[in-house]
A and B are shown apart, each in its own frame.
Chain A
Amino acid sequence: MIVLRPPGGRSLRLRPRALAVGAALTLLAVVLGGLTLVGVDRPAPDVPAILAGGGNPADRFILLDLRLPRLATALGVGAALGLAGAVCQSLLRNPLGSPDVLGFTQGAATGALVVVVLGGGSLALGGAAVAGGLATGLLGYALVGRHGLAGHRVVLVGIGVTAILSGVNGYLLTRAPLTDAARAALWLTGSLDGRGWVNALPLLAALAVLAPAILASGRALRMIELGDHLATALGVPVGRLRPLLLAAAVALVSLAAAAAGPVSFVALTAPHLARRLTRAPGPNLLPATLLGAALLVAADLVAQHAIAGQQLPVGVVTGVIGGSHLVWLLAVGRRSGRL
Chain B
Amino acid sequence: MPAAPVARPAGRTGRRLAGLALSLLLLGLVAGLSVAIGAKQLSPAEVWQGLLRPDSPEYAVVHRMRLPRTLLGLVAGAALGVAGAVTQAVTRNPLGDPGLLGINAGASAAVATATAVLGMTAGDIWYALLGAAVVTVAVHAVGGGRAATPARLALAGAALNAVLYSYVSAVMLLDAASLERLRFWTVGSLADARADTVLRVLPFVVAGLLIALATARPLDALALGDDAARALGARPGLVRAAATAAITLLSGAATAACGPLVFVGLLVPHLVRALTGPDLRWLLPYCAVLAPVLLLAADVTARLLGRPGELQVGTVTAVLGGVLFLHLVQRGAGVRR
B335 adjacent to A159 (CB under 8 Å): no
Contact A327 B322 (CB under 8 A): no
Alpha-carbon separation in the docked complex, A8 to B187 (Å):
63
Contact indicator B322/A153 (Cβ below 8 Å): no
B263 touches A163 (CB 8 A): yes
Within 8 A of A (CB), among B186-227: 187
Contacts of B151 on A, CB cut-off 8 Å?
Answer: 152, 155-156
In the assembled complex, the Cα of A174 lies from the Cα of B303 at a distance in Å of 12
Are A316 and B311 touching (Cβ within 8 A)?
no
Min CB distance B330 to A, Å, is: 7
Bound CA–CA A162/B100 (angstroms) = 12
Q: Which residue of A lies closest to B316 (CB)?
A: A167
Q: Which residue from A152, A156, A170, A326 sits with its C-beta under 8 Å from B318?
A: A170
Contact B315 A330 (CB under 8 A): no
Question: How far, in whole Å, are A316 and B187 apart by their CA atoms in the complex?
Answer: 17
A261 within 8 A of B: no
**Is B154's CB under 8 angstroms from A327's CB?**
no
Find out whether the CB atom of B318 lies under 8 angstroms from the CB atom of A164: yes
Residue of A nearest to B167 (CB): A320
Contact B311 A156 (CB under 8 A): no
**Which chain B residues numbered 299 to 337 have a C-beta less than 8 Å away from chain A?**
305-306, 309-312, 314-319, 321-323, 325-326, 329-330, 334-335
Q: Does A11 contact B (CB under 8 A)?
A: no
A143 interface contact, C-beta 8 A? yes
Q: Which residues of B contact A161 (CB under 8 A)?
A: 322, 326
Q: B166–A170 contact, CB under 8 A?
A: no
A residues within 8 A CB of B335?
151-153, 156
Q: Count contacts on B: residues with CB < 8 A to the other chain.
A: 51
Bound complex: CA A308 to CA B164 (Å): 22
Point out the residues of chain B lying under 8 angstroms from A171, CB to CB.
305, 311, 315
The B interface, classified by DSSP as helix, strand, loop or mixed, is: helix
Please provide the chain B residues from 152 to 174 with a CB less than 8 Å away from any CB of chain A in the complex: 152, 154-156, 158-167, 169-170, 173-174
- Residues of chain A within 8 A of B144, CB atoms compared: 330, 334
The proximity string for A residues 310-327 relative to B, scoring 1 for CB distances below 8 Å and 0 otherwise, is 101101111110111011
> Which one of B142, B147, B305 lies within 8 Å of A331 (CB-CB)?
B142
Distance of A324 Cα from B156 Cα, bound (Å):
10
Q: A155-B151, A155-B155, A330-B152 are in contact. Are A265 and B162 (CB under 8 A)?
A: yes
Does chain A have a CB within 8 A of B95? Answer: yes
Nearest Cβ on chain B to A201's Cβ, whole angstroms: 28
Cα A310 to Cα B175 in complex, Å, equals 10
A23 at the A/B interface (Cβ < 8 Å)? no
Q: Does A68 lie at the interface of the complex (its beta carbon under 8 Å from any beta carbon of B)?
A: no
Q: Within 8 Å CB of A167, what residues of B?
A: 314-319, 322
Q: Which residues of chain B have C-beta atoms less than 8 A from A290's C-beta?
A: none
Task: Answer yes or no: B256 CB below 8 A from chain A CBs.
Answer: no
- The interface residues of chain A lying within 8 Å CB-to-CB of B149 are 152
Question: Does A163 contact B162, Cβ atoms closer than 8 Å?
Answer: no
A135-161 CB contact bits vs B (8 Å, 1 = yes)? 000000001000000011101110111
B262 interfacial by beta-carbon distance below 8 Å? yes
Shortest distance from the beta carbon of A305 to any chain B beta carbon, whole Å: 13
A143 touches B326 (CB 8 A): yes
- On chain B, the residues within 8 Å of A163 by CB distance are 262-263, 318, 321-322, 325
How close is B244's CB to chain A, nearest CB, in angstroms? 20
B174 contacts which of A151, A152, A166, A307 (Cβ < 8 Å)?
A: A307
Decide if B174 touches A323 in the complex (CB within 8 Å): no
Count class of interface residues, chain A? 35 or more
Contact B316–A316 (Cβ < 8 Å): no
Output the least CB separation between A141 and chain B (Å).
13
Distance, CA A196 to CA B106, complexed state (A):
36
Question: CA–CA, A167 to B313, complex, Å?
Answer: 10
Residues of A within 8 A of B156 (CB): 327, 330
CB of B98 within 8 Å of the partner chain: no
Minimum CB–CB distance from B60 to chain A (whole Å) comes to 25
Docked Cα-Cα span, A324 to B142, in Å, equals: 11
Please state if B166 and A164 are interface contacts (CB–CB under 8 Å).
no
**Interface presence of B84 (CB below 8 A):** no
In the complex where A164-B322, A168-B319, A174-B306 touch, is A156 in contact with B95 (Cβ < 8 A)?
Answer: yes
Residue A96, interface by CB 8 Å = yes
List the B residue with the shortest CB-CB distance to A190: B166
CB pair A323 B152 closer than 8 Å: no
A residues less than 8 Å from B141 (CB atoms): 331
Q: Does B96 sit at the interface, judged by CB under 8 A?
A: no
| Nearest CB in chain B to that of A96: its residue | B155
C-alpha spacing A319/B142, complex, angstroms: 18
Which residue on chain B has the smallest CB distance to residue A175?
A: B306
Q: Is A284 an interface residue (CB 8 A)?
A: no
Closest 4 CB pairs of A and B: A319-B166, A167-B318, A323-B163, A164-B322
A-B contact pairs, 24 of them (CB 8 A): A96-B155, A153-B335, A156-B154, A159-B100, A163-B262, A163-B263, A164-B318, A164-B319, A164-B323, A167-B314, A168-B319, A170-B314, A170-B315, A312-B173, A316-B167, A316-B170, A318-B166, A319-B162, A319-B165, A320-B166, A323-B161, A326-B158, A330-B143, A339-B155
Interface on B for A, CB 8 Å cutoff? 95, 100, 141-144, 147, 149, 151-152, 154-156, 158-167, 169-170, 173-174, 187, 262-263, 305-306, 309-312, 314-319, 321-323, 325-326, 329-330, 334-335
Beyond the given pairs A171-B315, A307-B174, A323-B160, 12 more chain A to chain B contacts, judged by CB atoms under 8 angstroms and listed by A's residue number, are: A152-B155, A156-B154, A157-B329, A160-B322, A160-B323, A163-B325, A174-B309, A312-B170, A313-B169, A316-B166, A319-B163, A327-B163
